[in-house]
Amino acid sequence: MQNILVTGGTGMVGTVLKQYLNYNESVDNFYFISSADYDLTDMKQVEECFTERKYDKIIHLAALVGGLYKNMNNNSLMLMKNLKINANIIEACHKYNINRGIFCLSSCIYPKEPSKFPMTEEQLCESEPHESNEGYAYAKRMLAMLCKHYNTDYGREYICVSPVNLYGAYDNFSISDGHVIPGLINRMYKTKNKIAPYDTEEFEVYGSGIARRQFLFAPNFCAVILQFLYNKNIKNGIYNICDDNEYTIKQIVSLIAKILDFNESRIIYNKKYSDGIIKKTVSNKNLKELIPNLKFTNIEKGLTLTYEWFIQNLNDIRE
Ligand code: NAP
Ligand code: GFB
């Protein structure tokens, strides 16, 4: 029986992982922490966390996370907070002899003008990321560098998983800070039900709608994290986590409108809002070689389950 520390245990992925483990018996003890337990930007508190008990493995999910507009307006905060969290965690993992762990990157940290699409893991640092999330991107790139060099210098097994845009239950439905799927579901629901200030005739989508994104249902990502944690053949490296599909924002808007039974003729696109990066397609070739029969939830089913959770938890959603 091993002790496994899960940082970011109260976020979307952390909470879905906890649920996943409840459903699927686990041989180990998982300890889920949040910023209320330990502020990981403060090394003193990180030390307290790592001396509370002996941990054998770690799943490092904690980060200051946000959608396009939160990143665009807070690059310095996203850089500083995430740099401190990631450096403190790696330093503590090594100091307290945690030899193996899963560390979370993101597809938005890849180059904005890559040499080729879909982007493979080797292209991660071939040029600078998109300016809209530069702070967050460099803090995650530094996490990847820390894992790479602690693996090389000290024989650690710090493995990086790099998911695409995640969504699902327990997401952050904040209209200003959240990602596109929870943002659209929350605002379209409010417009449909005439809830001020979104009780408008027209429903405004931010941007032109032409941007393309890959989406991954959070429970699918949790299944991959656990497979990587226990797969002894995987000892280091970076792995993109995504299925084969990519959608325009227009397609996502239309899918969400169908699920909410919202009249699409009321939808307009406001190009005053940034689209962010137009395309950031990553390859899942390495993932499929590692786990050939990986199952992914299709977007229609994932969005429907997310909306059903939203409706059932309206009073408790993060927004
Ligand atoms: P989330 O819902 O925003 O949760 C973030 C978690 O990190 C929360 O548990 C939060 O604790 C914790 N945290 C934040 N700052 C902290 C601090 N200073 N000290 C301690 N804990 C802190 O994020 P998520 O969507 O689950 O993301 C999980 C991981 O996936 C992150 O590493 C993120 O970068 C990565 N990722 C997310 C997406 C996406 O689309 N959501 C896409 C790619 C990669 P509190 O609850 O106490 O605040
Ligand atoms: O999900 P999102 O905020 O993040 O935006 P990114 C995706 C796309 O949706 C952009 C459009 O092209 C937006 O213009 N969009 C349309 C909306 N309506 C909305 C809305 O109501 N809310 C939001 N948020 N977008 C993030 C990175 O980029 O990807 C983060 O900034 C993180 O660091 C995340 O990595 C996964 O995909 O543009």
Task: Dump pLDDT digits (tens) for 166-195.
Answer: 999 999 999 999 999 999 999 999 999 999
Residue 34 Cβ contacting ligand 1 at under 6 Å:
yes
Residue pair 114/127 in contact (Cβ under 8 Å)? The answer is yes
Rounded to the nearest integer, the mean pLDDT of the chain is 97
- Kindly report the protein residue whose alpha carbon is nearest to atom 44 of ligand 1: 106
206 CB within 6 A, ligand 2: yes
- The percentage of the chain sitting over the pLDDT mark of 90, rounded to a whole number, equals 98
The Å distance, Cα 134 to ligand 2 centre, comes to 14
Top mutation candidate among 65, 68, 181, 213 for ligand 2, by most atoms within 8 Å of CB: 68
Ligand 1 atom at shortest distance from the alpha carbon of 15: 26
What is the model's pTM?
Answer: 0.98
The full 3-state SS of the chain, as one line of letters, equals CCEEEEECCCCHHHHHHHHHHHHCCCCCEEEECCCCCCCCCCHHHHHHHHHHCCCCEEEECCCCCCCHHHHHHCHHHHHHHHHHHHHHHHHHHHHCCCCEEEEECCHHHCECCCCCCCECHHHCCCCCECHHHHHHHHHHHHHHHHHHHHHHHHCCEEEEEEECEEECCCCECCCCCCCHHHHHHHHHHHHHCCCCCCCCCCEEEECCCCCEECEEEHHHHHHHHHHHHHCCCCCCCEEEECCCCCEEHHHHHHHHHHHCCCCHHHEEEECCCCCCCCCCCECCHHHHHHCCCCCCCCHHHHHHHHHHHHHHCCCCCEC
Specify whether 31 is catalytic.
no
Say if ligand 2 is within 6 A of residue 191 CB. no
Ligand 2 pocket, 11 CB below 6 A?
no
Instruction: Give dist(CA 265, CA 215) in Å, integer.
Output: 25
- pLDDT at position 12, please? 98
What is the mean predicted confidence (pLDDT) over 131-139? 98
Residue 27 — very low, low, confident or very high, per pLDDT cuts 50/70/90? Answer: confident
Of 91, 3, 2, the closest CA to residue 40 belongs to 91
- The two tokens of residue 286 are 């390495």
Position 25 confidence tier, pLDDT thresholds 50, 70, 90: confident
Asked whether the beta carbons of 210 and 249 are under 8 A apart, the reply is: yes
Ligand approaching nearest to the C-alpha of 13: 1
Catalytic residue of the set 136, 170, 189, 206: 136
pLDDT level of residue 23 (50, 70, 90 thresholds) = confident
